[in-house]
Amino acid sequence: MSGFDLPLFPGERRPGWVGWLLLAPLILWMAAFVVVPTAILAVYSFCQRDELGRVVFEFSFENYVRVLSPTYLWIFVRSIGYAALTTVICIVVGFPAAWCIARSSERWRSRLVVLLMIPFWTSFLIRTYAWIAILKGEGLLSGLLKYLGVISTPLEILYTPTAVVLGLVYAYLPFMILPIYSSAEKLDGALIEAAHDLGCGPLRVFSQVILPLVKPGLYAGVLMVFVPAIGMFAITDLMGGARVPMIGNVIQNQFFQARDWPFGAALGCVFTLLFVVAYALWQRRSQPIREVRT
C-alpha cells in the first residue's frame, strides 16, 4: 500500500494534481489553524506553569489529575446536559418549521429562508443584550404581562437556568432549521403520496418515509447545535449571571483569571477528545458498513 490510501469505492478516481491544488488552501488553513494549535494545546497540557501562568516545559500529569476531579467532571456533565436539552428543544421547534418552509410554494420558500437569516446581520452579542432588555425585571416582557394583568410581581426569568436555555435555543435554532430544510426540500412529494396510496397512516409515513429521508439533515443539525452549545460561555455569563459555571467558562477563566494556561489546555484537550470519541462512536453506529477494498 502506498502512503495515502483512502478507502476508495468503485468509480472513484485518485485525485490528480488539479485536485490537490484546489485542496491546497483548505489544507494549509486546516494545518495552520487546526492541527498546529491542537498540537500546541496537547503539549501545553502536560506542562507546568510559572507565576504569570506561562507554560514551563516540565512534564507533568498533574493537570489531568485535576481535570478528573469530581468538581470538573460534574461541570462537564452539566454542560453536556444543557447542550442536550438545547438540542432537543431545537429539534422539536425546528423540525416542523423546516418542514413548513420546505413544503411551501417556491415564492414563499425563499422569503422564509431570508427571514431565518436576518438575525445573522446583527452581532450575536447585541442580540443577546436585546434579550436582557426583554427579560429583565423591569423589562419589556415583564411590563407587558403586568399591563395585561397576568402577573403582579416582576418577572424573574433573567439570570436563571431557564434564561440560559432560552438564550441557547435562540442562538442555535437556525443551525437546526437550515440543514433539515435542505434535506426536506429535496424530498419527493410523490413518495409520500405513494405511501398514502399503499395504506400508510400519517404516523407511519412520518416514521418510515419522511424521517429516514430527512435524517442526514437532522444529523447535521444535531451536530451543529450540540457541539457549539457545550462550549458556549457568553450566554451563560450574560443571561445566566455567571452563577453556575459551564465548561466554556471554566476554560476561559484559566487564561483570563487563574493564570493557569496548562490546566486550561488540559481541560481543552479532554473536551476535544470527548468530541472525537463520541463522533467516532456515532459514525460507526449510524453508517451502514461499506464495502472496503482490501
Partner 1 sequence: MKRLRLLVVTVLAAVFVSAASAAKKSKELNLFAWSEYFPQEVLDGFTEETGIKINYETYASSEEMLAKLIAGDGAYDLVQPSDYMAEVMIRNKMLRPLDLKQLPNRKNIEDQFLHMPHDPEGKFTVPFMIGTVGIVVNTDVVKEPVRGYKDLFQSKYKDRIVVVNDNREIVSWALVTLGLDQNDITPENLKKVRPLIAEWVKLIKVYDSDSPKTALLGGDVDLGVVWSGEAARLWEEDKKFAYILPEEGAHPFVDVMAIPAKAPHVDAAHLFLDYIMRAEVSKLISDEFPYMNPNAAARALLSEEQLANPASYPEGMDYMNVFRDIGRGAAAIDQLMTDLKSAQ
Residue partners of 228: CB distance under 8 A and separation at least 6: 172, 175
Among 9, 15, 19, 28, binds partner 1 (CB under 8 A): 28
Site string (154-193) toward partner 1, x via CB under 8 A: x-x-xx----------------------------------
Span near partner 1 by CB under 8 A; candidates 93-101, 167-175, 242-250, 279-287: 242-250
| Min separation Cβ 171 and partner 1, Å | 19
Provide the β-strand partners of residue 228: none
Cell of residue 168, nine digits: 441557547
Residue 52 C-alpha cell reads as 504569570
Evaluated on CA atoms 8, 12, 17, 22, the torsion sign reads negative
Which C-beta is closer to partner 1: that of 17 or that of 121?
17
Instruction: Say whether residue 259 binds partner 1 (CB under 8 A).
Output: yes
234 near partner 1, judged by CB under 8 A: no
Long-range contact set of residues 128-134: C-beta below 8 Å, sequence gap at least 24: 128/167, 128/171, 128/234, 128/235, 128/238, 128/239, 129/238, 131/163, 131/166, 131/167, 131/170, 131/239, 132/158, 132/238, 132/239
The correct pick among 254, 265, 266, 270 for binding partner 1 (CB under 8 A) is 254
Number of residues lying near partner 1 (CB under 8 A) = 43
Instruction: Pick the piece of the chain touching partner 1 (CB under 8 A) from 110-118, 172-180, 192-200, 258-266.
Output: 258-266
Within 10 angstroms of residue 223's Cβ, the number of other Cβ atoms is: 16
Q: What is the CA radius of gyration of the chain?
A: 24
Q: Which of 15, 35, 92, 138 binds partner 1 (CB under 8 A)?
A: 138
| CB nearer to partner 1: pick between 53 and 216 | 53
What is the spatial distance between Cα 191 and Cα 172, in angstroms, rounded to a whole number? 31
Residues 108-137 that bind partner 1 (CB under 8 A): 132, 136-137
The answer for 283, left when phi > 0, alpha when psi is -120 to 50, beta otherwise, is alpha
Q: Are 250 and 75 in contact (CB under 8 A)?
A: yes
Quote the cell numbers at residue 205. 409515513
From candidates 219, 253, 274, 275, binder to partner 1 by CB under 8 A: 253
Query: Binding to partner 1 by residue 268, rule CB under 8 A?
Result: no
Stretch in the footprint of partner 1 (CB under 8 A) among 7-15, 45-53, 84-92, 186-194: 45-53
Query: Binding of partner 1 at residue 226 (CB under 8 A)?
Result: no
Residues that bind partner 1 (CB under 8 A): 17, 20-21, 24, 27-28, 49, 51-54, 66, 71-72, 74-75, 78, 132, 136-139, 154, 156, 158-159, 237, 241-245, 250, 253-261, 263
